[in-house]
Structure 1
Amino acid sequence: MTMETNGYRAVYKGGQGEIIEKKSRFIATVLPIETEEEALEFIAKMKKKYWDARHNCYAYAIGERQELQRCSDDGEPNGTAGRPMLDVLLHEDIHNTVVVVTRYFGGVLLGTGGLVRAYQKATRSGLESSVIIEKQRGVFGNIVTDYNGIGKIQYILAQNNIPIADSIYGENVSIQVVVPAQQQEKLEKELIEGTNGKAEIDWEKEVVFAIVEKDLKIF
């Protein structure tokens, strides 16, 4: 999924999950990032924090198309940790996110299949403890109307699930909205027809936005 369509999923707030497999402890720590430098800084921080662990494996995917992908097994058998972790991010369509899975060895070998399953399970546990949002490309607009048209405009916005950023009441009413890019033309037509051309619409700028716990967030 790309921003050219409906958007992409990203971690808004990182979290931490933990699993135990045959006495080995796997701690997955998740963080939202924008650059590779941020990812590497976080990985170094986790390695310092969990300096006494046997392994600190990691994976990250950055970009609207997940074009930058990196992973590391950090001493585990080749292909049993970092790549399986990265596969979870790609399968879940999670962008701009780094995951570090720390393993404290419990004395029992898991085998290659067991390691793959454990690192993937731990990664999912970390994601489940995080806040994941859907980022969309949209247009920030300002709708100006008189008090007679406010009810109709609010109805049209509600019917189209358009989030309202702010409402300013003065001589006229100014409603600031964020409209998904693919809905802009359709909504403008409905607003003009619904108010008999009395609503003035000023599309001010393109934005990236998401609904976070029912609140509108503009990035």
Structure 2
Amino acid sequence: MSAEYITIAGPVDTELEISRFRFLTRLERVSDEGEARSTIARVRAEHPRARHHCSAFVLGAAQRTRRSNDDGEPSGTAGAPMLDALVSAGLSDVIAVVTRYFGGVLLGAGGLTRAYRAAVAESVSQADRVRRAERIPALVTVEYALAPQIEAEARRRGIEVLEARYGATVEVRFLLALDQQDLARALVSEMSAGKATLTHEPSTLVDLPM
């Protein structure tokens, strides 16, 4: 089955003030646990006077890796609600770090839980999203007369055409879904009367518009 999931296009920074507490949220895209922990360390260094830098991250298709940390807050009042906000939004390959500055009024466990979840939800609401999906880069080299026909027919059949490069011959580049390999190969062979062949690279994860 093709791996496909939703992530964010780029980093987001938001600030939420609740009962004079400041909750600063950094939402970033990451590819593994090492990158996630580097983000936590970087945010901690940016706010050395804050006592709490709570975090949650989700990685991989099907959100298979999930981690959270309360960073000194009462157990379950920070990391878990932050993680819930990410999972509920359907995001993966993303980390949220919330830095809390003390406001002088105790929020209590329930208040902290609601505040940390709201802080992440606010960042999530402002994030641009992209689909992350497995695709196969493919190339066909054809003569000039055939290139526009192959390109047009490929688009008609739902194959994504990345570009056509014109030189001594024309190189048409496709981005194939995993179930489009046979379709693309047959199309090229049929329209070129067997004179052109389709070559492809190993599948890779790419960003696609929502």
Check whether TM > 0.5. Answer: yes
> What's 2:107 paired with?
110
Matched, 1:15 2:15: no
Matched, 1:134 2:163: no
Once the two structures are superposed, residues 145-172 of structure 1 have per-residue CA deviations (whole angstroms, 9 ceiling, x without a partner) of 22222222222333315041x4221332
The amino acid across from 1:112 in the alignment is: A
Q: Once the 2 structures are TM-superposed, how far is the Cα of residue 177 of structure 1 from its aligned partner?
A: 1.7
Once the two structures are superposed, residues 85-124 of structure 1 have per-residue CA deviations (whole angstroms, 9 ceiling, x without a partner) of 1112222232222210111122233343332222122112
CA contact (8 A) 1:149 1:199 kept: no
Once the two structures are superposed, residues 166-216 of structure 1 have per-residue CA deviations (whole angstroms, 9 ceiling, x without a partner) of 422133211112112133223333444455555421123322212369xxx
C-alpha separation in 1, matches of 2:101 and 2:71: 13
Q: Once the 2 structures are TM-superposed, how far is the Cα of residue 46 of structure 1 from its aligned partner?
A: 1.5
> What's 2:40 paired with?
43
Q: 1:96 aligns with which of 93, 97, 105?
A: 93
Once the two structures are superposed, residues 26-66 of structure 1 have per-residue CA deviations (whole angstroms, 9 ceiling, x without a partner) of 11102222232222222122222212224211011223343
1:56-205 to 2 correspondence within 5 Å? 56-159=53-156, 160=158, 162-164=160-162, 166-194=163-191, 197-205=194-202
The two structures have a TM-score, normalised by structure 2, of: 0.85
Structure 1 residues 163 and 104: CA distance shift in structure 2, 3 A: farther
C-alpha separation in 2, matches of 1:31 and 1:190: 41
Alignment size in residue pairs? 209
User: C-alpha root-mean-square deviation of aligned residues, in Å?
Assistant: 2.5
Q: Percent identity?
A: 30
C-alpha separation in 2, matches of 1:188 and 1:115: 57
> What's 1:216 paired with?
none
C-alpha separation in 2, matches of 1:88 and 1:156: 43
The amino acid across from 2:160 in the alignment is: I
Gaps of 5+ in 2: none
Q: 1:34 aligns with which of 31, 55, 65?
A: 31
Structure 1 residues 134 and 104: CA distance shift in structure 2, 3 A: same
CA contact (8 A) 2:22 2:101 kept: yes
Q: 2:204 aligns with which of 188, 207, 216?
A: 207
C-alpha separation in 2, matches of 1:124 and 1:191: 47
CA contact (8 A) 1:18 1:28 kept: yes
